[in-house]
């Protein structure tokens, strides 16, 4: 099987182009094997580029544990860059079908190479039963949660996939490896959750650390960055346009008055390979 290794701000993926042929593969098993950083290629997820009926192309995403994700913000930027540069899409505007719906994308390209990708991530899902989260309020904003004797206050947002956003004075002091899995698997989240710890720098700037559902700590998370800005606005901490600084780099997020969230950032190639 041929593949392309790509990353968006260090959030790395193995992309399989089904237009080039990839039949009879168990993708959950392939994700578990290939994403292993010691016995495989190593990645935060497996992306599939597929034909689509209601969009230019389609994206499927598998986590390193073999589970399928509904959406991936950094992954969709990588896939969009590849689809354009491989000639499957000729316009600098394109649509990508996902398990979270069809996403509109705008490309900034120079000399045939994509420099930046802007994705309309759609409107955030805030109703607790749709996130999903078992909440006491009409919206799960600054809800109380306890793990291992520690109390946090979180806001639940879905960007097609569930996120638990927790604002903290200093995110580097959060024991991410300990708190992340406990929050991901907390019974209050029926489908598990991604976990975002955010630190406010200014009303237009935050620092973010991520624990991703089915993947663990990652260098960046596009949907997490979107969810964090939405949560910051709901909690009165942020303006609707903010920079989100992650370990792998910075994303620009804008929660428009229309209700949709725009995410802008780069994508890059690492290498091309073939499994044996």
> Domain with 77 in it: what CATH number?
3.10.310.10
C-alpha–C-alpha distance, residues 155 and 172, integer Å: 20
Residue 124 per-residue DSSP state? P
Residues 252 and 268 grouped into a single domain: no
List, for residues 231-269, the tens digit of each pLDDT value: 999 999 999 999 999 999 999 999 999 999 999 999 999
DSSP 183: H
pLDDT category of residue 222 using cuts at 50, 70 and 90: very high
Are 95 and 105 a contacting pair, CB within 8 Å? yes
Same domain for 104 and 166, yes or no, is no
212 within a domain of the structure (yes/no)? yes
Q: Does residue 99 lie within any of the structural domains?
A: yes
Structure confidence by residue, pLDDT tens digits, 186-217 = 999 999 999 999 999 999 999 999 999 999 99
Q: Tell whether 6 and 113 lie within a shared domain.
A: yes
Instruction: Answer yes or no: do 150 and 236 share one domain.
Output: yes
Domain membership of residue 63 (yes or no) is: yes
Total domains in the fold of the chain:
2
Q: How far apart are alpha carbons 18 and 37 in whole angstroms?
A: 24
Predicted pLDDT at 115: 97
pLDDT band at 23 (very low <50, low <70, confident <90, very high): low
Nearest CA-CA partner of 234 in 184, 165, 174: 165
242: Cβ–Cβ under 8 A, 6 or more apart, which residues?
203, 204, 205, 206, 229, 232, 253
Q: What is the structure's pLDDT at 275?
A: 87
Residue 248 belongs to what domain range? 143-257
CB atoms within 10 A of CB 77: 31
CA distance 88 to 82: 9
Return the structure tokens found at 100. Answer: 């979270």
Kindly state the tokens that stand for 45: 């997820």
Whose tokens are 């991410």? That residue is 176
Annotated catalytic residue, options 35, 78, 164, 221 = 221
Q: Are strands 241-246 and 143-147 parallel, antiparallel or unpaired?
A: unpaired
Q: Give a yes or no: residue 86 inside a domain.
A: yes
**Contact predicate 45/35, CB 8 Å:** yes
Q: Are residues 118 and 6 part of one domain?
A: yes
Residues 68 and 6 in one domain: yes
Q: Is 128 domain-assigned?
A: no
Question: Are residues 114 and 36 located together in one domain of the fold?
Answer: yes
Our separate counts of H helices and E strands in the chain read 4, 18
Same structural domain for residues 83 and 176? no
Active-site choice (35, 72, 78, 226): 72
Nearest in space to 15 (alpha carbons), one of 57, 51, 45: 45
CA 275 to chain centre: 26
> Which residue, 232, 236, 241, is CA-closest to 263?
241
Q: Who contacts 71 (Cβ-Cβ below 8 Å, separation ≥6)?
A: 61, 98, 99, 100, 121, 159, 160, 161, 223
Q: Are 114 and 166 members of one domain?
A: no
Indicate if 72 belongs to the active site.
yes
pTM: 0.94
pLDDT of 82 strictly over 80: yes
| Tokens read off for 170 | 């200093």
268/181 same-domain check: no
Assigned domain for 37 exists: yes
Say if residue 16 is in the same domain as residue 60: yes
Query: Looking at the domain assignment, is residue 192 inside a domain?
Result: yes
Between 73-85 and 222-234, two packed helices, what is the crossing angle to 10 degrees?
130
Tell me how far CA of residue 145 lies from CA of 16, 138, 161, 256, in angstroms.
39, 16, 20, 30
In a domain, 60, yes or no: yes
User: What is the token pair recorded at 78?
Assistant: 């990588």
111 & 165 share domain: no
DSSP-assigned letters across all residues of 12-62: EEEEEEGGG---S--HHHHHHHHT-TTTSS--S-EEEEE--SSSSEEEEEE
Per-residue pLDDT band at 136 (split at 50, 70, 90): confident
């Amino acid at each position: 099987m041929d593949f392309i290794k790509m990353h968006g701000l260090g959030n790395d993926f193995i992309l399989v182009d089904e237009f080039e042929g990839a039949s009879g593969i168990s993708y959950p098993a392939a994700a578990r094997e290939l994403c292993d950083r010691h016995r495989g290629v190593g990645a935060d997820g497996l992306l599939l580029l597929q034909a689509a009926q209601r969009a230019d192309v389609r994206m499927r995403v598998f986590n390193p544990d073999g589970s399928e994700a509904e959406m991936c913000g950094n992954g969709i930027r990588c896939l969009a860059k590849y689809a354009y540069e491989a000639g499957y899409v000729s316009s600098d505007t394109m649509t990508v079908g996902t398990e979270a719906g069809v996403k509109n994308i705008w490309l900034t390209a120079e000399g045939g190479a994509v420099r930046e990708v802007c994705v309309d991530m759609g409107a955030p899902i805030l109703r607790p039963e749709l996130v999903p989260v078992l909440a006491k309020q009409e919206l799960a904003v600054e809800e109380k949660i306890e793990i291992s004797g520690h109390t946090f206050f979180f806001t639940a947002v879905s960007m097609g996939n569930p996120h638990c956003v927790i604002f903290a004075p200093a995110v580097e002091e959060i024991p991410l490896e300990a708190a992340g899995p406990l929050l991901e698997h907390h019974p209050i989240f029926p489908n598990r959750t991604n976990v975002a710890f955010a630190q406010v720098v200014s009303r237009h700037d935050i620092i973010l650390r991520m624990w991703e559902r089915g993947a663990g700590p990652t260098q960046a998370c596009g949907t997490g960055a979107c969810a964090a800005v939405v949560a910051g606005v709901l909690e009165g901490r942020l303006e609707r346009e903010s920079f989100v600084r992650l370990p792998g780099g910075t994303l620009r997020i804008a929660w428009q008055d229309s209700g949709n969230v725009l995410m802008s950032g780069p994508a890059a190639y690492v290498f091309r390979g073939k499994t044996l």
